[in-house]
Structure 1
Amino acid sequence: MYLGLDLGTSGVKALLIDESQRIVASATGALEVSRPHAGWSEQDPAQWIAATEEAISALKSSHGDALAAVRGIGLSGQMHGATLLGEDDKPLRPCILWNDTRSHREAAELDADPRFREITGNIVFPGFTAPKLVWVQRNEPETFSRTAKVLLPKDYLRLWLTGEHISEMSDAAGTAWLDVKERRWSADLLEATALTEGHMPRLVEGTERAGTLRAELAGRWGMGSNVVVAGGAGDNAASACGAGTVKPGAAFVSLGTSGVLFASNATYLPNPESAVHTFCHALPNTWHQMGVILSATDSLNWLAGITGATPSDLTRELGEELKTPSGVTFLPYLSGERTPHNDAIIRGSFTGLAHRTDRAALTQAVVEGVAFAFRDSLEALRQAGTELSSVTAIGGGSRSTYWLKAIATALGVTVEVPAEGDFGAAFGAARLGLIAAEGADPLAVCTPPAIAAVIEPDAALRPAFEEEYRRYRALYPAIRGATA
């Protein structure tokens, strides 16, 4: 058996697979986000441990024999979080999360240093880890001076599991401290933020062994000795491993809390001017590009919260047949936006509201707005040299056929829907646990799922979607100019 642990923003998912990669069981533990100020987003790392304990305890209760047979554990996690530890390995403050934008000024300052784009291949975004440390240095100097280690969220979980300070390439690539081409920490970039390699964890590939489970935890969970913990991956690279998006040209669209358009590459292809992320993949000698939008299903969750409906109720009201855009346009910038704008200040909006605008029209606008944000990412990928003809749909939002039809039509690409199953980050993490424990061939393990449905762009509605996309594109500078 092999266990995948995915540390997300809203929960920790634990998933068990067998040697045939059949999903045996899964369980979750809930997490909450603290937002003490506008633009801030934090979590107490103790929550991560408690949620992991909750999820694994549930597996032990329901599938104790399977849990006892675990040979490898893989980790996946939300990226970019700044977890600051003292000499005693205890957190010095809550973790500053990926969607926290307080360090936008610090990010702009670092990005103005040409070494960052040259070495990392990326813009320094406010959500990345490095500018957060500069913010802490300026605003919480005592905390900064006491910081002995900086870990990403999943790697703090690894520390608890194994006692080791280790990270891996895909997650480290999102810190703005990694030489992404050479797959190593950059001493120059660390020095630029008043840190050294001593503050960083040791680096491994995602498929490599990265510690063994502590005896105390193995005993508590009924596992044997020498359970291998894999390097693992950041959540998007782990999702790629789960969806089999590991060979050149393969791509997925992820409709989760945030949205990702992800393409696997055999070579390092940076183009930071396009605001596309160019990161290491979880597999050795592999990279990936991705466009990222900060509020994908989060946009629908927001609308559900203020209308008193559930997200599924809202999408159900739209029916199955794709509709012509109504003229109500939604910009999904509830937490700012990454690709293509790199704008932490911009906020979302509805335009085109009229007396006849009802809840369904607002839902349709949200769904289309997120689809057009993915279109922005597709155009940015094209500027970076990557063309896509099809994508695999993953994430919770991919259960909405209407949303997938809107994405296919807005992007002009085929959307493939996997057969029923879980092919997300937790499954990808479990696959990495299998590879590390058994020394298996990554490409033989990380195969694509069977496809249950293929959604083609709606040719009849493409002109209307193109016209609405032009309106969508014109709104960003207009709104930015009115609110800056």
Structure 2
Amino acid sequence: MTFLGIDLGTSEVKAVLTDDGSAPLATANAPLIVDHPHPHWSEQSPQAWWHATLDAIAAIRAAHPTGFAALRGIGLSGQMHGATLLDRSGQVLRPAILWNDTRAFAECVELEALVPESRTITGNLAMPGFTAPKLLWLAKYEASVFRAIHKVLLPKDYVAWRLTGEFTSDMSDASGTLWVDVAKRDWSDRMLSATGLSREQMPNLVEGSAPAAQLRDGLRREWGIEGPVTLCGGAGDNAASAIGMGVVGAGGAFLSLGTSGVLFSGTDRFAPNPEQGVHAFCHALPERWHQMSVILSAAASLGWLSQVAHTAVSTLPELAAQVAPASAPIFLPYLNGERTPHNDANARGMFWGLSAAHTTADLAYSVMEGVAFAMADGYAALQGAGTTLEQASFIGGGSRSRFWAQLCATAMGVTMRRHASSDIGAALGAARLARLAVTQDTVAEVCTAPPVIESCEPDRASEPLLAQRLARYRRLYVALKPEFAAVG
């Protein structure tokens, strides 16, 4: 018996095949591209998601045909918030509007005016990355598309439909739409009505670890699988990463530096702090919730520097480690606006304090430090919601850098734990959810933490200087906020 986890990210689809003890047997990935047709816009083709998923599955089948033939469960995780729109014939109406698209900022104000109790219902501040404001924008500016909508799906749920023919979603991913009553774990008719939609246009909600649908017979036969294959509810990418890292209850946490940056903390109750941009969502397991702070450009900031400086991303942390921090510029990582704690779609990135003496190494340090400072801001917002952390798992593409782990630990005052294979956490978590849906195994048996390679504790000697630089970083945003708003 094997299980397949598929993580639909922004830059690629990752897949992992695991045995009945959740040990990885084979992994694969397939790239994706993002389109930016206008300022503030970020879109992808749902058809590209499907083709990339098929490519990743084909690679898994080729790498481990015997294991794949024994497949009994599939779990999906995915980038959250994306608006994927289908008409009654199942045709995609337009490219999906992604989580880092900020065109619907004005509609956030409108939505909260339409539903004054929205923060109480959803536990979240209305942000342009969320799904509901995108639909208000569509109703205004692409009215014919809006009128033709039969189903609104999140990215992973579109892939689930292609795999099964059923419209399903899970609690964790759906929490990021602003259409869910997060405390009650159900669609909110009040929030749906405010955006001109109804339950009939939403997928069925199930818990992430529960059976949701069966793989289409045609695909099962084509892939050479004899027995039935169950698709579980799955999870949003961060909740799935938490399952993969064993972060399933109160006190567990991880910091992920992928395209975006996420500080995730498990909770045993609904604990919102919307005023400071903290996300309070359902977890992928029944009767569990979590909090998140999110920045939009984490590893993406380092990727941007790599392009403009014509320097490989893999070499930038090594260059950064050689820099004397006191002489480096201050970097604001708001390349695509920001979520926690500012909720400012107009915020933009900048280097402060540049001189002719600065090198690519200085800029690399500044970018990595700026992302660490943004995560420190996010942790401060979580503290405002009553969460205090002693340690967190350090995951995502940025977790390959021990230097970045140390920088984040010192800036935040939280020990960072590095793990092996942490970059497949979301796909592994999805496979674990599939195992829970198919077997009688318990959460304690399935959702274990991976071995720790090392722990990076805050560097007490560097703390005073970083604290001074963090204070300046925060003052720069306050000073520049009116200028950001003026540029728009």
TM over 0.5: yes
What is the match of residue 137 of structure 2? Answer: 135
Q: In structure 1, give the amino acid aligned to 2:460.
A: A
Distance (whole Å) between structure 2 residues aligned to residue 367 and residue 223 of structure 1: 46
Distance (whole Å) between structure 1 residues aligned to residue 430 and residue 31 of structure 2: 19
What is the match of residue 2 of structure 1? Answer: 3
Report if the CA contact (8 A) 2:138-2:146 is conserved: yes
Q: In structure 1, give the amino acid aligned to 2:266.
A: S
What is the match of residue 312 of structure 2? Answer: 310
* Residues 411/54 of structure 1: CA separation in 2 closer, same or farther (3 Å cut): same
What is the match of residue 225 of structure 1? Answer: 227
Report if the CA contact (8 A) 1:324-1:461 is conserved: no
* Residues 322/432 of structure 1: CA separation in 2 closer, same or farther (3 Å cut): farther
Distance (whole Å) between structure 2 residues aligned to residue 188 and residue 128 of structure 1: 17
Distance (whole Å) between structure 2 residues aligned to residue 473 and residue 109 of structure 1: 29
What is the match of residue 54 of structure 1? Answer: 55
Q: In structure 1, give the amino acid aligned to 2:458.
A: P
Q: Which stretch has the larger CA shift, 442-451 or 63-72? A: 442-451
CA shift, 1:63, in A, is: 1.2
Report if the CA contact (8 A) 2:254-2:395 is conserved: yes
What is the match of residue 361 of structure 1? Answer: 362
1:212 to 214, 225, 240: 214
Identical-pair percentage: 52
* Residues 159/77 of structure 1: CA separation in 2 closer, same or farther (3 Å cut): same
Q: In structure 2, give the amino acid aligned to 1:194.
A: G
CA shift, 1:89, in A, is: 1.6
CA shift, 1:322, in A, is: 8.2
Report if the CA contact (8 A) 1:322-1:405 is conserved: no
Report if the CA contact (8 A) 1:215-1:225 is conserved: no
Give the CA RMSD over aligned residues: 1.2
2:268 to 250, 266, 273: 266
TM-score by length of 2: 0.97
CA shift, 1:84, in A, is: 0.7
Distance (whole Å) between structure 2 residues aligned to residue 176 and residue 6 of structure 1: 22
Report if the CA contact (8 A) 1:73-1:229 is conserved: yes
Distance (whole Å) between structure 2 residues aligned to residue 143 and residue 5 of structure 1: 29
What is the match of residue 379 of structure 1? Answer: 380
CA shift, 1:412, in A, is: 0.8
- Secondary structure in structure 1 of the residue aligned to 2:213: strand
Q: In structure 2, give the amino acid aligned to 1:267.
A: R
Q: Which stretch has the larger CA shift, 16-25 or 300-309? A: 16-25
Deviation sequence 1:63-106 (CA, Å, 0-9, x none): 11111111110000000000011001221111000000111110
Distance (whole Å) between structure 1 residues aligned to residue 6 and residue 198 of structure 2: 29
1:85-164 residue pairs with structure 2 within 5 A?
85-112=86-113, 113-164=115-166
1:462-481 residue pairs with structure 2 within 5 A?
462-481=463-482
* Residues 383/156 of structure 1: CA separation in 2 closer, same or farther (3 Å cut): same
Deviation sequence 1:315-345 (CA, Å, 0-9, x none): 12234x7853434100000000000000111
Q: In structure 2, give the amino acid aligned to 1:166.
A: T
- Secondary structure in structure 2 of the residue aligned to 1:13: strand
Distance (whole Å) between structure 2 residues aligned to residue 400 and residue 111 of structure 1: 40
1:72-87 residue pairs with structure 2 within 5 A?
72-87=73-88
* Residues 104/422 of structure 1: CA separation in 2 closer, same or farther (3 Å cut): closer
What is the match of residue 339 of structure 1? Answer: 340
* Residue 329 (1) aligns with residue 327 (2): no
What is the match of residue 254 of structure 1? Answer: 256
Q: In structure 2, give the amino acid aligned to 1:143.
A: V
- Secondary structure in structure 2 of the residue aligned to 1:136: helix
What is the match of residue 40 of structure 1? Answer: 41
What is the match of residue 189 of structure 1? Answer: 191
CA shift, 1:420, in A, is: 4.8
Report if the CA contact (8 A) 1:410-1:466 is conserved: yes
Distance (whole Å) between structure 2 residues aligned to residue 230 and residue 288 of structure 1: 20
Deviation sequence 1:191-249 (CA, Å, 0-9, x none): 01111111111100000001011011112222223101010000000000001111211
Report if the CA contact (8 A) 1:170-1:237 is conserved: yes
**How many pairs were matched up?**
483
What is the match of residue 165 of structure 1? Answer: 167
Q: In structure 1, give the amino acid aligned to 2:101.
A: D
Gap runs ≥5 in structure 2: none
Q: In structure 2, give the amino acid aligned to 1:346.
A: A
Gap runs ≥5 in structure 1: none
- Secondary structure in structure 1 of the residue aligned to 2:176: coil
Report if the CA contact (8 A) 1:268-1:278 is conserved: yes
Report if the CA contact (8 A) 1:322-1:402 is conserved: no
Distance (whole Å) between structure 2 residues aligned to residue 64 and residue 203 of structure 1: 33
- Secondary structure in structure 1 of the residue aligned to 2:307: helix
What is the match of residue 411 of structure 1? Answer: 412
Q: Which stretch has the larger CA shift, 216-225 or 55-64? A: 216-225
- Secondary structure in structure 1 of the residue aligned to 2:270: coil
Q: In structure 2, give the amino acid aligned to 1:474.
A: R
CA shift, 1:158, in A, is: 0.3
What is the match of residue 389 of structure 2? Answer: 388
Deviation sequence 1:403-439 (CA, Å, 0-9, x none): 1110001001111111456551001001111111113
- Secondary structure in structure 2 of the residue aligned to 1:174: helix
Report if the CA contact (8 A) 2:169-2:206 is conserved: yes
Q: Which stretch has the larger CA shift, 81-90 or 277-286? A: 81-90
Distance (whole Å) between structure 1 residues aligned to residue 320 and residue 355 of structure 2: 19
- Secondary structure in structure 2 of the residue aligned to 1:363: helix
Distance (whole Å) between structure 1 residues aligned to residue 379 and residue 159 of structure 2: 33
Q: In structure 2, give the amino acid aligned to 1:82.
A: A
Q: In structure 1, give the amino acid aligned to 2:9.
A: G
What is the match of residue 291 of structure 1? Answer: 293
CA shift, 1:394, in A, is: 0.6
- Secondary structure in structure 1 of the residue aligned to 2:64: helix
Moved beyond 4 Å, runs of 4+: 420-423
Report if the CA contact (8 A) 2:244-2:432 is conserved: yes
Distance (whole Å) between structure 1 residues aligned to residue 394 and residue 379 of structure 2: 15
Deviation sequence 1:138-193 (CA, Å, 0-9, x none): 00111100101100000000000000011010000000000000000000110011
Q: In structure 1, give the amino acid aligned to 2:246.
A: G
Distance (whole Å) between structure 1 residues aligned to residue 421 and residue 54 of structure 2: 28
* Residues 151/209 of structure 1: CA separation in 2 closer, same or farther (3 Å cut): same
* Residues 29/140 of structure 1: CA separation in 2 closer, same or farther (3 Å cut): same
CA shift, 1:28, in A, is: 1.0
